[in-house]
Chains A and B, each alone.
Chain A
Amino acid sequence: MPPTSSLLRDSSIDRDRLFPGDRLAAYALLVILALVTVVPLLYMIVLALQSDAEVLSGDPVLWPADPQWGNFTRLFDAAPFGRFFLNSFVMAGAITIAHLVFDPLIGYVFAKMEFPGKRIAFVAVLSTLMVPFFVRMLPIYAIFSNLGWIDSYQGLIVPFLMDAYGIFLMRQFIRPLPNELIEAARVDGASEFGIYLRVILPQLKPALAVLSLFTFVFQWNEFLWPLIATSRTEMRTLPIGLTLFNQEYFTQWNLTAAGALILFLPTALFFVITQKFLVEGITLSGLK
């Protein structure tokens, strides 16, 4: 088509406006897909509030006749959910703190310091991204068994004290900070660690917030290692405790759903806090 004829039709530049139907169809599709995403999760609430009779009946329940809020407390009597919650909290919390201590420090070294062996060290750290967890899991399990660390908090925590993602993410945030800041502090006689602590770290507050929230949520949800590293009921974490509880009390889907909602709680909180940064945060950690 010759360009002139399309230019004559002025509206062709904003062609989308000519087809409100297309946009409407896209919007309808989007709403359907969002519902497909959210409705199963909302159904979890319906399920958690059903009475035992409703769960076992053959009829679809869209809203329980008499919402059983007591299910949330019954759950704690049926299984040691309080302990599971505490274990998950200790594990995810300790790992998050460790990441906040180590990741920015290591990231700072790779971002701003020059020293022999830097490139090899950096490549070595990044290369760990390619290692499936299964590859290091078996030897770590064997070593921890010998140390008596199975069914212990240190056993749950130590394999995840830091990781290449967090270090790389921090390096990316630190690199653009002006070198003059560091030089000025050095001239003022600040120690190297003092520079890191007082000049660099305060600049990283938003990055550290993103790092801690992501670390906490992903460790809170971690499944494979806690499954293997614990065998005593009182050392199980919430994701493991919930699936075991479900196998033991198969028909009590209402209690299982109530437990799932408790497990979902930190994710929901995380979601509310980070909604604005969520997409950017994932793009940064996922693409780089």
Chain B
Amino acid sequence: MNRRRQAATAWLFLSPAVIFFVLLFFLPIGNQLLTGLYDADGVNFVGLDNFTRALGDPEVVHSFLITLGYAAGTLVVGTAVGLGLAVILNQAIPGRTLFRSVLLIPYLTSVSIIGLLWRNILDPQVGILNRLLDQFGLPGQTWLSTHPLATIVGITVWSSAGYTMVLFLAGLQGIPGLYYEAARIDGAGPWRRFFSITLPLLTPTTLFVSIIGLISTLQQFALPYIVTGGGPGNATSLYAHRLFLVAFNDNDFGYASALSVLLLLVVLVLSLVQLKIGDRADAAH
């Protein structure tokens, strides 16, 4: 079979993908880059006005800052919990497969279920959590009105800890057991082994987990949308929620496109950093 025929066959097989990715990825992205340069009606060219407007828009700046806070909280707590779970479940503990699977259930569960479930559990009137606290003589909390963002962070960690754990488990299994044997012989205790072997050798995994976590928290929409609707006030109106409101409440597609292009730029930079880290990790092995 000659090369030209093979190339023709390959492109024939690829044609559904070419059509799909061009029509539903590359043209829309190009369209976003252009629409961001137009006004709300998409008629008048306004140059970079939408972008400069975003930088001076208190609601957008607010949404970006709380998204950073949400991301930081989720990353710090989520990484610690996921790593802890992975370290424990990397040992020969009976039932470890079952534990690993059970901890993954929330990750596979619809955000509708997670959002509604926690809204019910945390409800000051009908919620079971305050009723349980009351049974133990502890004061109830108005979780979602006093600490809305921290509560959203908590729910996010609850739902993603299992996934983070799996990524760390994969990283842990790449560490040669020999290192631990040697450290044991040298008399290093469990904590010393963790800080001198596990943690440094997990650096590429930790960076990977942090960056994909950051990318997904920057795009978080559904959870606060369901649990708080962005409130109280706009305390949990994250960047993606603001973008959604600009597009579908204000019907300002030009401005919304500019906001989505800014999101694309941030995610792109983070993805490239992640690729670099991946390359370096590959080179180290």
Contact = CB atoms under 8 A, between A and B. Distances in A.
Nearest to A126: B275
Interface in A116-149: 116-118, 121, 124-125, 128-140, 142-143
Given A138-B247, A270-B108, A282-B166, A118 B260 contact: no
Contact of A30 (B21, B99, B128): B99
Given A6-B186, A131-B25, A132-B260, A282 B13 contact: no
B93 A3 contact: no
B10 interface: yes
Contacts of B267: 130-132
B37 interface: no
A91 B71 CA distance: 31
A26 interface: yes
Contacts of B219: 132-134
B191 to A, nearest CB: 10
Contacts of B97: 275, 279
B32 interface: yes
Given A43-B128, A132-B267, A256 B120 contact: yes
Nearest to A251: B126
Interface in A11-70: 12-16, 19, 22-23, 26-27, 29-30, 33-34, 36-38, 40-41, 43-44, 47, 55-56, 58-60
Interface residues of B, number: 94
Interface string B124-137: 01101001100100
Contacts of A33: 81, 85, 103, 161
A115 B10 CA distance: 7
Contact of B166 (A121, A140, A279): A279
Given A13-B185, A60-B135, A287-B167, A34 B103 contact: yes
Interface stretch (B49-57, B110-118, B144-152): B110-118
Contacts of B10: 109, 113-115, 118
Interface string B12-38: 011011101100111111011001000
A-B pairs with the 3 shortest C-beta distances? A221-B110, A239-B112, A115-B7
30 contacts: A6-B185, A15-B184, A15-B190, A30-B89, A37-B106, A37-B161, A40-B158, A43-B117, A43-B128, A47-B120, A58-B125, A59-B131, A60-B128, A60-B132, A109-B14, A115-B11, A134-B221, A136-B24, A138-B260, A139-B35, A162-B17, A192-B6, A192-B9, A223-B111, A223-B221, A260-B116, A279-B100, A279-B166, A283-B166, A286-B167
Interface of B: 1, 3, 6-7, 9-11, 13-14, 16-18, 20-21, 24-29, 31-32, 35, 81, 84-85, 88-89, 91, 93, 97, 99-113, 115-118, 120-121, 125-126, 128, 131-132, 135, 158, 161-163, 166-167, 169-170, 181, 184-187, 189-190, 208, 212, 218-219, 221-222, 226, 240, 243, 247-248, 253, 256-257, 260-261, 263-264, 267-268, 271
